[in-house]
Structures are given as structure tokens and as C-alpha cells.
Chain A
């Protein structure tokens, strides 16, 4: 296909009608969603929802994802009575395949995932199936993958959809997810499928914001698109520097801030008073050329690059019996 043809087709596709919903249906649906949202909020009462992008960023940044520790694999496969069980553990996570079934064009895998309270960090993971051990006609595509078409959570201890996100066991209990995923059945000839679990690790691109000091107060910081913090005062005292701030907008948290003097020395926060909105820094003798720095993070509508980190120890191969 020539580049010109590609461009022409692209332009044609781009000019296809932009359908819109009937206004009446739109409004009635909007009302239903509002009702469902109100109900949902009530149901979630008592549960801590992640309200802080700052907190998420911090957790994501410190999570080390060490997966080379304890590793144990149990395999039990009995074809006679239909039971099937593979299990692998790594870093506080245990992934089990309890059963699989083939029906029509689909392969459904029944999983159980257990996360112990000491499993480190807050992370997401996904299960990506790959077809392997394929016969000659497919040997040129050894890395062919199969697509997930459906998921269901059969007996959750935690509401939600686990295959794409597992939060850490912050309440100190072991979390168990029992779920199944349905994939497109690989073509005839493929007799094994290997599951490649991986962590999804997001590192928002941070940008440093620099503000020259001293200047009149308040100083507004905008670390995120809907995140503003007002610094109402900075006191340069003989023994310490005290920053007083007021959070504004959706995020009540203060972003990390620090001072850099004209000689390039950095002054990091040494204390935060939990009862007030003040941050304490070491004494800064001269404010000549002093700057205040913080970092901006992307808002909800911006892209955050996501890396896939394979969890080798959790790979499980299912021999397909058709």
C-alpha cells in the first residue's frame, strides 16, 4: 500500500460521520448514571478510595517489585477426573490455574490469585497469554499472542476487576481473587499456552518547577492540572525554615518541595507538623538567589507511560487437550 493511498484512506476515515446520541436518550442516561453514582458512593462508604495522585505517585515510585525471592511451583494435573491445577508463587503473590475449558472458539482459564499482607507495594499486573509449542504451519510466529475477550470475577473477597489491578493489602488481610478470563482459542495445532504475568508500572513524567525567592505571598504552586497549593508564608528563622501552606482544589496533599540556594545546595524537608499545614526545613542563611522547587505531575487526562515488568516466576504453561 502506497503512502499516498494510506493518507487518502486515513482522510476518508477521518471524515466519516460523527454520530451523536439522541438528546433525550442522552439526558435520561445521564440521570440514570447520576443515580447509580450516588448509590455507588453510599456503598463504598467506609472504604478508602485513592484520593491522592501524590500518594499514588509516591507508592509507584518506591515500589521495587523484587520478584526474585521465594519461588515455588506446584503442579497437579489429573486428566481422569478433570481436575487441573498449576500454581506458582513469587514475592507474596500466588497465582493458580485451577481449571481451563475449551468451548467453541474460546479458551476459558479459571484463576485464583492470592496476595499476602506483606506483599510489597501497590501494584497492578496483567496476564498476557502467549501461544507456544506450535506446529510447523505456525512456527514462523512463535510469539503470537491470543486476545482476551471476556473476564468475570466469580467469588471476590474484594469488589472490582482483579486482572488489571491489585492494590496492596493495606488492611492487613490476605486478598484472594477467584476469577476467570476467556481468550480467543489459538488455532488448531497449538497445544500449549503460556501465561505471562507482568506488573504494570507507571512512572509519570515529572517536570521541575522553579520559583525565585523571596517574593510576596501567597505563592501559588500548580503541580498538577487540577492540583493547586497556596504557600501562604515562609519564615527564615535562625535555626530553621518554616513553610506554611494551604491546599486548594481536589488534592489536599502538599507536593514535595525543596529549596536550592545560589551555590546549588539543596535543603530538603526535615519535619512536618501533622496537626498543622507547616513544613520545616534547615536554616537557610541567605536568600540571595534562593529558589523554591517542586515537581509537576500529569493530570488524569494526560498520558502516563506504563512499563511492563515480567514476573518470570509466575509464568504458567497450560497443555491444551482438545
Chain B
């Protein structure tokens, strides 16, 4: 039972939320967003109980926090600057994934997916949430989760293949 002890929830799930936000935003310095997610939980804890899984609820809040942050960023950056920002984003993602090229490519490709695809792929395939949990988390129907996940994976596969064939770079540079 969740009894309003947000600190315990933080201890248990902070790194899940952190991981989600790293993949969703493509940046490593998402600590502020993690904190905002849990502070939102404090403010809106009344709405928690009936959502179901607490992890799904947290991802839902985290996603909204991330989208808000991305929107704010978009609104404050001019077109020229945004190009620089994208390069910066790519660099940090590459820094994050200091493993095989394939993983770096995969991580970059995830960033290139449109928001819905990205979200559902991260939740289902990286975090391993069930269809039901993902649906709860995103406020979608289970059917929409299945369809969007399949399309997202297909899109991701397409991007990876293009890269392997020396085609269009799916990175943001």
C-alpha cells in the first residue's frame, strides 16, 4: 500500500524514473526532472491510488514532466540555437553510452523516434512494463499500446537498418 511516504517511494523507484528520463530526453543530467516528478507526486498524491501500479503512475508523471521541460526548452531556444542544442544532446547521449557502437546507435535512434513511439518503446522494451502497466502509465488503451509499440519497434528497426547500410544518419547532427 502507498501511504503517502514519498521518501520511501523515491528510494525504491528514483533510479527507475532516472533511467526512463535519460532515455526519453537523451540527456544524462535529468536529476532536476527526477526531483520534479517526486515533488509532483507530493502535490497530486490524491490521484495516485486509483491509477493502479505506482511505477506506472510515476512514469506517467515523469513523462509529463519531461514533455513540459522539452516544450519549455523549445520555447526558449531560437532556430539556430536549437541546432546547436541538438548537437549538444547527441554528444551527451554518446557520452552516456560508452559501450559498443551498436548501443550508442540504438540509443540515438530512440531519441529520433517520435514521442509516442519513444515512450512506449522505453517503457515496454527497456523497462519491461506489461501492456497493462504501459497503458496505465500513458493513459492509453491496451490496444493502442500494442499497436504503437509494434509501430515504434518497426520504425526503430528501419532507422537501424538505414544506418547499417550507410544510409541516413539517425543521429541528430
Partner-B contacts on A (CB < 8 A): 1, 5-6, 9-10, 12-14, 16-22, 25-26, 29-30, 32-34, 36-37, 40-41, 49-51, 53, 56, 60, 124, 126, 147, 149-151, 159-161, 164-165, 167, 200, 202, 224-227, 250-251, 299-306, 308
Question: Could you tell me if B47 and A160 are in contact, using CB atoms closer than 8 angstroms?
Answer: yes
- Residues in A neighbouring B18, C-beta threshold 8 A: 19-21
Question: Could you tell me if B53 and A303 are in contact, using CB atoms closer than 8 angstroms?
Answer: yes
Closest to A227 in B: B1
- Residues in B neighbouring A12, C-beta threshold 8 A: 102-103, 106
The minimal Cβ–Cβ distance linking A55 to chain B, given in whole angstroms, is 11
- Residues in A neighbouring B46, C-beta threshold 8 A: 49-50, 160, 165, 167
In the assembly, what is the distance between CA of A19 and CA of B20, in Å?
Answer: 9
Q: When A19-B96, A29-B31, A227-B1 are in contact, do A150 and B68 touch as well, CB less than 8 Å?
A: yes
- Residues in A neighbouring B44, C-beta threshold 8 A: 160-161
B109-147 contacts to A, CB under 8 A, are 115-116, 121, 125-126, 128, 130, 132-133, 136, 139, 141
B83 located at the interface, meaning its Cβ lies under 8 Å from any Cβ of chain A in the complex: no
- Residues in B neighbouring A126, C-beta threshold 8 A: 139
The minimal Cβ–Cβ distance linking A25 to chain B, given in whole angstroms, is 5
Q: How big is the B interface, by class? A: 35 or more
Q: When A10-B153, A160-B44 are in contact, do A300 and B54 touch as well, CB less than 8 Å?
A: yes
Partner-A contacts on B (CB < 8 A): 1-7, 10-11, 14-15, 18-19, 22-23, 28, 31, 34-35, 38-39, 42-44, 46-55, 64, 67-68, 71, 96-97, 99, 102-103, 106-107, 115-116, 121, 125-126, 128, 130, 132-133, 136, 139, 141, 150, 153-154, 156-157, 160
In the assembly, what is the distance between CA of A161 and CA of B42, in Å?
Answer: 12
- Residues in B neighbouring A20, C-beta threshold 8 A: 15, 18-19
Given A1-B154, A18-B15, A160-B43, 16 more pairs with CB closer than 8 A? A1-B157, A13-B106, A16-B106, A17-B96, A17-B97, A20-B19, A21-B14, A21-B31, A29-B35, A37-B6, A50-B49, A149-B71, A160-B46, A164-B51, A304-B50, A308-B141
- Residues in B neighbouring A225, C-beta threshold 8 A: 1
- Residues in A neighbouring B154, C-beta threshold 8 A: 1
In the assembly, what is the distance between CA of A72 and CA of B54, in Å?
Answer: 38
- Residues in A neighbouring B2, C-beta threshold 8 A: 300-301
The minimal Cβ–Cβ distance linking A221 to chain B, given in whole angstroms, is 15
Question: Could you tell me if B7 and A303 are in contact, using CB atoms closer than 8 angstroms?
Answer: no
In the assembly, what is the distance between CA of A53 and CA of B160, in Å?
Answer: 47
- Residues in B neighbouring A302, C-beta threshold 8 A: 52-53
In the assembly, what is the distance between CA of A209 and CA of B160, in Å?
Answer: 52
Question: Could you tell me if A301 and B54 are in contact, using CB atoms closer than 8 angstroms?
Answer: yes
Question: Could you tell me if A26 and B19 are in contact, using CB atoms closer than 8 angstroms?
Answer: no
- Residues in B neighbouring A251, C-beta threshold 8 A: 1
Question: Could you tell me if B54 and A37 are in contact, using CB atoms closer than 8 angstroms?
Answer: no
In the assembly, what is the distance between CA of A56 and CA of B43, in Å?
Answer: 20
In the assembly, what is the distance between CA of A225 and CA of B34, in Å?
Answer: 27
- Residues in A neighbouring B103, C-beta threshold 8 A: 12, 16-17
Question: Could you tell me if B19 and A36 are in contact, using CB atoms closer than 8 angstroms?
Answer: no
Question: Could you tell me if A19 and B22 are in contact, using CB atoms closer than 8 angstroms?
Answer: yes
In the assembly, what is the distance between CA of A14 and CA of B153, in Å?
Answer: 13
Question: Could you tell me if B14 and A304 are in contact, using CB atoms closer than 8 angstroms?
Answer: no
In the assembly, what is the distance between CA of A32 and CA of B102, in Å?
Answer: 38
User: Residue among B7, B39, B55 with the most chain A CB within 10 A?
Assistant: B7
- Residues in A neighbouring B1, C-beta threshold 8 A: 53, 224-227, 250-251, 299-300
